[in-house]
């Protein structure tokens, strides 16, 4: 059973307020994305390509810094189409993110989820629900229940926290 406040729990039949909110948020974000045409929208992007060339790091490092998979970086380099939200994530990478990605990489593909959970809890207590948080980085939702979290998801949460955490505090 998924926790309350997730669209999965709503799907499992719960109609409590927090599950209804999660469901509505999910539907609304899908509708918004469809209107923007980028729900599964693909683009070929020269901007992202020249951006990663400027960053001058390996695919894996850039992928971790951007919170996308390494194959996305490869697709950019070889001029293939990628998701709009992946392009946006790559364009948002700064040199500092690259520097931060190296120590993370040596920690492997998964890292302990404690810090990610703490950041999410902070944001949630400031009134952001997870669906809304997820939407800000182009995920349909953010569910961190396991003790370990994928690096790129941790990076995504960090990025949102940097962006809105200070405003929320
Ligand atoms: Zn519920």
Which stretches of the chain score pLDDT less than 50? 140, 168-169
How far apart are the CA of 113 and the centre of ligand 1, in A? 23
The CA angle 16-20-23, to the nearest 5 degrees, is: 145
How far apart are the CA of 79 and the centre of ligand 1, in A? 44
Place of tokens 């995504």: 156
How far apart are the CA of 90 and the centre of ligand 1, in A? 35
pLDDT tens sequence across 77-107: 999 999 888 898 899 899 988 988 887 776 5
- Rounded-to-integer distance, Cα 62 and Cα 73, Å: 7
CATH no. of 42-106:
1.10.260
Indicate the pTM of the whole model: 0.47
Domain boundaries, the chain: 7-36, 42-106, 110-168
| pLDDT for res 166 | 55
């Amino acid at each position: 059973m998924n926790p309350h406040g997730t669209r999965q729990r709503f799907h499992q039949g719960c109609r409590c307020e927090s599950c209804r909110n999660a469901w509505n948020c999910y539907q609304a974000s899908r509708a918004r994305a469809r209107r923007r045409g980028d729900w599964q929208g693909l683009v070929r992007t020269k901007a992202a390509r020249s951006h990663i060339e400027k960053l001058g790091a390996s695919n894996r490092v850039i992928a971790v810094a951007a919170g996308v998979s390494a194959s996305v970086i490869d697709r950019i380099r070889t001029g293939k189409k990628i998701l709009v939200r992946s392009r946006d994530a790559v364009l948002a990478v700064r040199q500092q993110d690259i520097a931060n990605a190296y120590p993370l990489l040596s920690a492997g593909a998964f890292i302990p989820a404690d810090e990610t959970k703490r950041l999410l809890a902070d944001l949630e207590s400031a009134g952001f629900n997870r669906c809304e948080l997820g939407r800000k980085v182009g995920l349909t939702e953010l569910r961190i229940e396991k003790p370990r979290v994928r690096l790129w998801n941790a990076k995504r949460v960090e990025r949102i926290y940097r962006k809105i955490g200070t405003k929320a505090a």
